[in-house]
Amino acid sequence: MPLVPVNISDGQVSGVSDLAPVCSSLVNFDVDEAGANRPRATLQTYSVTGLGAYPVDGIARIAGYMFITARDTEREKDITNAQRRNHRAYYINEVFPATAGTVTIDAGEWAGIRRPTFVVGADKIYFAAGGDSINSWVTTAPTVTTALSNSPSQATHIASLGQYLISNTLDDPHAIRWSALGEGSWTTWPSANSMEAEARPDEIRALAENTNSLFVWGEETTQLYVVGADPTLPFDCVSTINVGIAAPYCYVRLDESYVWLDDKRRIVISDGAAVRPISDAIQADLRSLDTISDAWAYRYEEGQHSYLVFRFPTEERTFRYDLKSEKWSELKRYVAPFQDDFDVGAYVYRQSDNTHIFGCSGSSGGLYTTSTTSRSEAGAPLVCERVTGWQNFGTDNRKRSTRVRVVMKRGTAAQNATPGALEVRVQDDDAPWSDWEQVSVGGPDDYGSVMDLYFGGIFRRRRYHIRYSSTEDFAVISLADDVSDTGAA
């Protein structure tokens, strides 16, 4: 046989048997339209003073300011304190991006323990305090928030549609409530501005707007509302589907639709009418997770790529969906000596300077930004891995391998520096993995892109594990094996 290509452009299909001919693990590699595997953008510490050492779970932006919320784990543990504060808040004036100021929540407490949800108005940020009152924050008085009088006292989700501020409330889990008309009147919440939202007895678990419609998710159903003609009952239900939501914060806007973790633990795309599951490749993984209540999601656009990211913090799993190729991978951070949790608790995109800001969900809190040039991640290596599917090269006969050929980007190490290396190993049939073989990235004068490795071996089926953790600019373009059929069964 000639050199036979090994598929390294597919996505992770971890929900099937590990003996399948598909990629069982794809971690931290970006795969472009040409099939090249490159290390993803790395997380870099966003240095800022004044931000407390607490896990960040919310970030919103308005007019050159960031508003940040963080879980106060110390006070949360103080269950005997009736006035315990489960969250803290901070702000950053982006003119002075290295300094954070402390924000006092109105009445000095925020008893809600869930994630915040935000609405960015004309000049204020409004937020549902995770099961407590709705507050507003304005840049002209950045050190305090103001609770909206008469608003729901146990709101977890808010949205804005048709110049109304809309909320659910835990004390009446079947009801939608809304403010008076116009942002200047969002402090007023008439008692009549309420309606039941249920296709069947189905408690509201989340709600969010998408330009001209309101998605209201229940445990088993999803309803879509639009602004109607009746000012006394301004929202008309236009569709209902038998698909609920499994985790109240695991949803993300996708243009005119939403994507969410549904009540069957599928990740689905829907415009409120048609429903399309996209998680078949990782379905078994999703259904094996023990804790999903803290899951959340965000959309991330970087360079050539467009991703949806689904975080399961307690389970320490982060799944990433490539919108272009419709393929899955996972995100992890290396904490010696293992791949560990991708500890991101919040995300916002700063369009003014094309900057991605992440909140750290670890106990020390803080912020991250991203880099496409630095290949170390917040002081640790970025470890990228791919485990291919099992290959039989079209026959179940025994085959002999002469060489494994790697085509990769080389010659990127600094002059006189010690180059990093791509690591490759193989597994034949039921044998253990081979030892790692290394392919040097090479210095400026060592840029030949075609490199051969000599594992040898006779096998029926083989799979390949590639790994990269060095700091040079790098890409794996292709992998092939020079195999010949022995004719023996």
Domain 42-377 has CATH 2.130.10.10: yes
The pLDDT score that the predictor gives to residue 454 is 97
Report the DSSP pairing between strands 175-178 and 164-167.
Answer: antiparallel
Confidence category of residue 341, pLDDT binned at 50, 70, 90? very high
Using one digit for the tens of pLDDT, what is the confidence trace for 57-66?
A: 999 999 999 9
Residues of the chain with CATH 2.60.120: 3-40+385-485
Please, what is the average pLDDT of the chain? 93
Copy the structure tokens of residue 165: 């501020």
Supply 455's token pair: 């594992």
Instruction: Give me the mean pLDDT over the 9-19 stretch.
Output: 91
Q: How far apart are alpha carbons 153 and 133 in whole angstroms?
A: 4
Q: Quote the CA–CA distance of 147 and 349 in Å, as a whole number.
A: 27
Residue-wise pLDDT for 204-233, tens only, equals 999 999 988 999 999 999 999 999 988 889
Q: Closest Cα partner for 329 from 380, 384, 369? A: 384
CB 176 within 8 A of CB 204: yes
| pLDDT at residue 113 greater than cutoff 80 | no
Position 153 scores a pLDDT of: 86
More confident residue, 69 or 197: 69
In the predicted structure, residue 88 carries a pLDDT above the cut 60: yes
* E strand map for 19-113: 25-27, 29-31, 37-39, 42-46, 56-62, 65-71, 87-93, 101-103
**The pLDDT of residue 15:** 83
Asked whether the predicted pLDDT for residue 327 surpasses 80, the reply is yes
Task: Give the model confidence (pLDDT) of 426-454 as tens digits.
Answer: 999 989 999 999 999 999 988 899 999 99
Distance CA 109, CA 89 (A): 11
* 134-138: strand order across its sheet: 117-120, 124-128, 134-138, 146-147
One-letter amino acid at 47 equals: S
pLDDT at 67: 97
pLDDT value at 175 more than 90: yes
The rounded percent of the chain whose pLDDT value lies above 70 is 96
Q: Are 249 and 345 spatial neighbours (Cβ–Cβ below 8 Å)?
A: no
Query: Where along the chain do the CATH 2.130.10.10 domains lie?
Result: 42-377
Name, in order, each residue with C-beta under 8 angstroms of 408's C-beta and a sequence gap of 6 or more: 422, 439, 449, 451, 474, 475, 476, 477
Does CATH place domain 3-40+385-485 in 2.60.120? yes
pLDDT at position 368:
97
Confidence of residue 82 (pLDDT cuts 50, 70, 90): very low
Q: Is the pLDDT of residue 21 over 70?
A: yes
Dihedral through CA 330, CA 293, CA 169, CA 172, nearest 10? 140
Rounded to whole angstroms, how far apart are CA atoms 152 and 117?
A: 14
Q: Is there a contact between 112 and 129 (Cβ–Cβ < 8 Å)?
A: yes
